Structure 1
Amino acid sequence: MNDSWRRGGPRSTRLLAAGAAVLTVAVALCVRAGATGASGTSGAVGKYAGDALYTVLLHALVVLAVPRVRPLVAAAVALGASWAVEFSQLSPVPGELSARSTLARLVLGSTFNAPDLFWYAVGAVFGYFVHAMLNAFSSRRTVAVVRES
Structure 2
Amino acid sequence: MGDLGRTRILAGAAALVAVGAGLGVRALGGGDVGKYAGDALYTVLVVALVVLVVPRVRPVVAAGVGLGFSWGVEFFQLTGGPAAMAAHSGLARLVFGTTFNAPDLFWYAVGAVAGWAGHRAVRAKGRGQSLATTG
Is TM > 0.5 for Structure 1 vs Structure 2?
yes
What is the match of residue 60 of structure 1?
A: 48
Query: How far is 1:12 from its partner?
Result: 2.4
CA distance in 2, matches of 1:130, 1:63: 11
1:18 aligns with 2:6: no
CA distance in 1, matches of 2:3, 2:93: 35
Q: Deviations over 1:47-105 (max 9, x none)?
A: 00000000000000000110100000000000000000000000011110011100100
CA distance in 2, matches of 1:33, 1:47: 10
- TM-score, normalising length from structure 2? 0.91
- Match of 1:87, as an amino acid? F
1:95 aligns with 2:95: no
Aligned length: 129
Identity %: 60
Q: Deviations over 1:93-120 (max 9, x none)?
A: 1110011100100000110000000000
CA distance in 1, matches of 2:53, 2:39: 21
CA distance in 2, matches of 1:135, 1:11: 12
CA distance in 1, matches of 2:121, 2:8: 17
- Match of 1:130, as an amino acid? G
CA distance in 2, matches of 1:56, 1:85: 14
What is the match of residue 35 of structure 1?
A: 29
Q: Compare relative contact order (CA 8 Å, sep 6+) and give the higher one, 1 or 2.
A: 1
- Match of 1:29, as an amino acid? L
Query: How far is 1:14 from its partner?
Result: 1.4
1:113 aligns with 2:101: yes
Q: For the pair shown, which has the larger CA radius of gyration, 1 or 2?
A: 1
Query: How far is 1:33 from its partner?
Result: 2.6
Give the gaps of 5 or more residues in structure 1.
Answer: 1-6, 37-42, 142-149
33, 36, 48: which one pairs with 1:48?
36
Q: CA RMSD in A?
A: 1.2
